[in-house]
Structure 1
Amino acid sequence: FSGLNNLRDITVSADYSALCGYTERDLETVFAPEVEGLDREEIRRWYNGYNWTGESVYNPFDVLLLFQERQFHAWWFETGTPTFLVDILTQRGFFTPDLAHLRADEGLLSTFDVDHIANEALLWQAGYLTLAGSRRTGARLEYRLAYPNLEVESALNDSLAKALIGQPSLASALTGRLYDLLVAGKPAALHAHLDALFAAIPHQWHLKTPIAQY
């Protein structure tokens, strides 16, 4: 009986869920002076949401930079572009809308073989998805995965869009145009914009690119 073979894994232990982040109480007490003047709901929407079956926590890196710069930004995401992750998801033809509501069992999430790791496990272990709930069906424990917050959701989808389009500047322009039309409430113009996007895809493109996988 070796102790090293019987370590306790506290990754999804509710007792330690707040071990590596700032809690709501931390912001209310320790960081009360820094929080003053900032929208608490926006702080929560941007940087809270990381959860390991217990109390949700804020990303410390984001929070500290927010207090210093006084503006909401994808601080943590930009510390390292997830090129490896984006490449894998695009190569596998992953359906990105599923990122908001994936499910995985506990065995899948503990996979560490990079060459054969499931998308769900990779995204969770890299910090781009978090635990949003769980349920037990017989002897099987299943977790529901979701984006932790607005920072990760917007920044990851932006990176995926640029990778799929292949031209970052064009992706930014198309995204900006789409946003403007939605905010302006112009359904006819939005319809024309979407039509143009789909019309720009060559009908035989699948012969030379992985688009046939989608």
Structure 2
Amino acid sequence: MNQQPSFPRKMPIGIQSFEKLRRENYVYIDKTEIMYRLVSTSNPYFLSRPRRFGKSLMLSTMEAYFLGKRDLFKGLAIEQLETEWNTHAVLHLDLNAEKYDSPERLHDMLEFQLRGWEETYGTGGKGITHSARFMEVIQKAYEKTGRGVVILIDEYDKPLLYSFHDEALQKAFRETLTAFYTVLKSADQWLRFVFITGVTKFAQMGIFSNLNQLVDISLTRPYATLCGITLEEIEANFEPEIEQLMESHDLPREELLKQLTRRYDGYRFYEENVPNVFNPFSLLSVMTFHAFKNYWFATGTPTFLTEILKKTDFDLRELDGIEVSAASLSDDKADINNPVPMIYQSGYLTIKKYDERFQIYTLGFPNDEVKYGFLNFVTPFYTPVAESETSFYIGKFIHELESGDVDAFLTRLRAFFAGISYELNNRTERHYQTIFYLVFKLMGQFSETEVRSAKGRADAVVKTADYIYVFEFKLDGSADQALAQINDRGYLIPYTVDGRKLVKIGVNFDPAQRNIGDWKREDKN
């Protein structure tokens, strides 16, 4: 463990075993000082974090600590803080590895875990419920070791998330898990420490209405950086990789760090005045493969979002910058008509601002990886263009505007509206507006764009090296009316001193054709 690191160093991508990480000399960001604040108490804790944010590795680290494996912590902060290194019985329940598509799947997983514990601690178990068997294991483990038992539950809500779209299956899972987890309250006298992780925390999932002694640390200042990696930690721990990235991409250090920050930073798990954290999975992947890609987003399709988009009338344009009550992020019931809390807890939104007086959070996309990954993912739900083709179209849009070919740009944009079959009404009007929003937001990957977020602004602005385009769209109006609005409301004024060529574009949307109708262009001299 004390060997000099070789280069390239081993990055713990997907490594969830603390012992494997330490014995095989993977890079490790020392979080043990923060962890020690938790384990030095006997409180039962809950932590919500998005997937692939290091929750499983944190539980594995706690397990090694409570098993007294002091040698694994050599050189880490906790080595100087802990003096006793007592050995405890650790019951580690990991619900992450199963596909929960039936009640039997959950039953089999609990059965597997219980049988292993029963063999270790010599309990009977047969003929009684899972919850009763769990209680018996805890009691026997306490008697065998003479010390309080440690309970670690990883991804407690995996079966519930998987069944979000199936009410009957959700109910079956909820009843099974509620009975199982409620044992922890009754067994308190035999417990030393309880730590539960998951993605979501919703009142109706049962565990939190029954386990009211759980301390939720998901939005607390001391534990805001327990999972994830801060910029300070990057600069302290990844100097060789930073140097290589600078060389690979021919970027100065400051610009490289800015690019890493823009793409992968931005997560905040407290109100204000705490460091943002980088997505650890994406960051470690960049350090390994030396390419800027959407690593985290590509590892799992947010299937629950698919169901929400199919069923809800939620306005997608409101997501980035939406305001929500503080209580809604932790205490709401999962509601298909109010997807924002679940989207936040799953990592697609994060805290941007907090109004302490009114206890209101402003949420937004944490970084470019999530923003553009999310927008690419949802585009096929609003257009006939497949996700695999979206980047092709967006790239063509940019090339056409960079060359000044507005006619080609708008002709291509028509493809995004082709095949919409229903009649125009209030909902479809929003649908068309959402398509415009998606196109111009996605263009922001390659060019500076603005999409209207307030009155007194043009519908969209696109800036290229040589041009600034100001767009106004009219529904069942005329291109002339759209141009007149640009002039009458002074949409061009903020850009008149820029030096680039200014282009006004008025576009009419024809409801009869359900597509872009005529357009007009005026160049400002």
Give per-residue Cα distances to partners, 1:84-110, cap 9 Å, x unaligned: 213313431332222211111012112
Aligned residues: 207
Counterpart residue type for residue 289 of structure 2: E
Alpha-carbon spacing, 1:183–1:61, altered in 2? closer, same or farther (3 Å): farther
- Aligned equivalents of 2:269 and 2:312: distance in 1? 27
Q: How much does 1:128 deviate?
A: 0.3
Match of 1:97 in 2: 317
Higher helix share: 1
- Aligned equivalents of 1:94 and 1:178: distance in 2? 27
Match of 1:153 in 2: 371
Alpha-carbon spacing, 1:190–1:11, altered in 2? closer, same or farther (3 Å): same
Alpha-carbon spacing, 1:65–1:170, altered in 2? closer, same or farther (3 Å): closer
Q: How much does 1:183 deviate?
A: 4.0
Give per-residue Cα distances to partners, 1:54-104, cap 9 Å, x unaligned: 210011111111011100111011111112213313431332222211111
The DSSP-based 3-state class of the residue aligned with 1:71 is coil
Which one of the candidate residues 381, 384, 396 is aligned to 1:163?
381
Give per-residue Cα distances to partners, 1:163-192, cap 9 Å, x unaligned: 322441454443332233344444343334
TM-score (norm 2): 0.36
Which one of the candidate residues 179, 184, 187 is aligned to 2:406?
187
Give per-residue Cα distances to partners, 1:127-148, cap 9 Å, x unaligned: 00000010034xx400000000
Q: How much does 1:6 deviate?
A: 3.3
The DSSP-based 3-state class of the residue aligned with 2:282 is helix
- Aligned equivalents of 1:87 and 1:182: distance in 2? 35
- Aligned equivalents of 1:66 and 1:177: distance in 2? 27
Match of 2:161 in 1: none
Which one of the candidate residues 265, 288, 308 is aligned to 1:48?
265
Alpha-carbon spacing, 1:141–1:154, altered in 2? closer, same or farther (3 Å): same
Alpha-carbon contact 1:108-1:118 (below 8 Å) kept: no
Match of 1:70 in 2: 290
Give per-residue Cα distances to partners, 1:193-212, cap 9 Å, x unaligned: 335544x355x5248xx847
Alpha-carbon contact 1:101-1:146 (below 8 Å) kept: yes
Structure 1 unaligned residues grouped into runs of 5+: none
Higher strand share: 2
- Aligned equivalents of 2:304 and 2:294: distance in 1? 19
The DSSP-based 3-state class of the residue aligned with 1:76 is helix
The DSSP-based 3-state class of the residue aligned with 1:100 is coil
Q: How much does 1:115 deviate?
A: 4.3
Counterpart residue type for residue 334 of structure 2: V
Match of 1:21 in 2: 228
User: Which structure has the greater CA radius of gyration?
Assistant: 2
RMSD: 2.6
Alpha-carbon contact 1:14-1:55 (below 8 Å) kept: no
Match of 1:205 in 2: 422
Q: How much does 1:33 deviate?
A: 1.0
Alpha-carbon contact 2:352-2:362 (below 8 Å) kept: yes
Q: Percent identity?
A: 30
- Aligned equivalents of 1:13 and 1:117: distance in 2? 28
- Aligned equivalents of 1:21 and 1:194: distance in 2? 39
Counterpart residue type for residue 66 of structure 1: V
> Which segment drifts farther, 32-41 or 62-71?
32-41
Alpha-carbon contact 1:21-1:60 (below 8 Å) kept: yes
The DSSP-based 3-state class of the residue aligned with 1:104 is strand
Alpha-carbon contact 1:90-1:164 (below 8 Å) kept: no
TM-score (norm 1): 0.83
